[in-house]
Structure 1
């Protein structure tokens, strides 16, 4: 499940109109409305503060608003970007400072969608994955092969401890667990040992594993 991990903002200019997109992580409608209220206070002098938000595992909570723009030219196109990107638990407000030139219906749709995309570029979106904690014990002769197989499967180690043996902890997507164990067993001629731990959701953030 893709979620907004850290909000951000981005700005575009279309025919002298400024479109400022601000994103925020939310989990409830109350959090979304509170964020929207803050943005309206911050940009009180803007002509429009349009918004869209989605929340829930199935994106079952959805709302959007054109905030005075022609119907269907702002809120819904903004929401469509979030749905198309399959992002959960986020809200976005696009603030428009009118530049004096009308953009037309199609121009508004494109501008609001482009603004949301710019906001997302400056935010941190992560994918939360259902996985299992796997502890791998091996000798020093096998660790190179294990590290190679982990890299081939795009699995990042949480920790590696070197004593008289090598103990490597990884979070493995649930659907890859059995296959990875088989690959490591074959690659190390059965010398590696495994301990399968808890089930948890995790994500790779800045090259590091975060467990939720």
Structure 2
């Protein structure tokens, strides 16, 4: 019988038929697979023989559908048990009924080179993934120190007949902050609430807040968040509330207390913290006034600080200068005093510089 007829006809099983030993097919040449249901199907991958069925199957690629004369997939059908089944339906049934294959091993040439990160999942096609990905160093600490306020600032905010009296004070210790709160309680002894938020330490490492009878999280924490957002330290904020008879609700209290602190900080004088070189200039009493005037003019133009004059056997002027301006300071001082006065460096310290 011709091979074409043999591929389309299935013999019915018979109990009197003589068992026939299946003929071992020869492996196809040129690395091509020809499954029994698709004589013209091809695959570009290598082939292997199944030990269970004796067939030669493809290792990875799915056989393509046979093509008709016009290049489109043929829609021929065959009759099996009185039903008509399309070639596409049979192909899909075979693919779903195949046993699970072992996962392929990744080729060595497809892995990224050593020292390069793996490409991100879901990267768009055509994107360059053979270059190192630069990510921001979020763990690197900032060199800038937190700022602070100078002196004491008072402000008032009225919301729905409730008065919010804010007091912003520069402090350096917890005891100093407690003294500010005690003074506010003594001055406004008839007020219902005295909410507090404070941040202390060179690097803002001590933080504290209290709601003082307000609903939890509606007063002290919002005030503290405003101080954090402004990047401040060594400061205490006290907001005293006089109730006006109208309930503000949780959201209204949060906006009121945070707004009161923000409004007071807008008018408070700010100073920034920097690491400066501490210099001491010793001059005779006769030249103290002239040299002090020269130094005050210089520090005003170079973001430096001139502290109070100390009188001992001579007049000693302490100047705080940015380290990168030390050479400029020495040159200007020598030019103003004809080289008769020099500065002695004592070290470095953190100082407040007007913003």
The TM-score normalised by the length of structure 1 is: 0.68
Secondary structure class of the residue paired with 1:88 = coil
Residues 1:17 and 1:196: Cα distance change in structure 2 (over 3 Å): same
1:173 aligns with 2:322: yes
Match of 2:314 in 1: none
1:5 aligns with 2:163: no
Match of 1:47 in 2: 192
Match of 2:93 in 1: none
- 1:16 shift after superposition: 1.1
Match of 2:161 in 1: 16
Structure 1 portions without partners, runs of 5+: 136-149, 159-169, 185-193, 207-212
Q: Is the 8 A contact 1:157 1:171 kept in 2?
A: yes
Q: Is the 8 A contact 1:6 1:125 kept in 2?
A: no
1:65 aligns with 2:214: no
Residues 1:24 and 1:156: Cα distance change in structure 2 (over 3 Å): closer
Q: Is the 8 A contact 2:170 2:236 kept in 1?
A: yes
1:77 aligns with 2:222: yes
Q: Is the 8 A contact 2:155 2:264 kept in 1?
A: yes
* Of 223, 231, 242, the match for 1:97: 242
Secondary structure class of the residue paired with 2:177 = helix
Higher helix proportion, which one?
1
Larger radius of gyration: 2
Q: Deviations over 1:10-52 (max 9, x none)?
A: 1111111110101222222222112111111111111111111
Pairwise CA RMSD: 3.6
Match of 1:167 in 2: none
Q: Whole-Å Cα distance in 1 between the matches of residues 250 and 151 of structure 2?
A: 31
Secondary structure class of the residue paired with 1:101 = coil
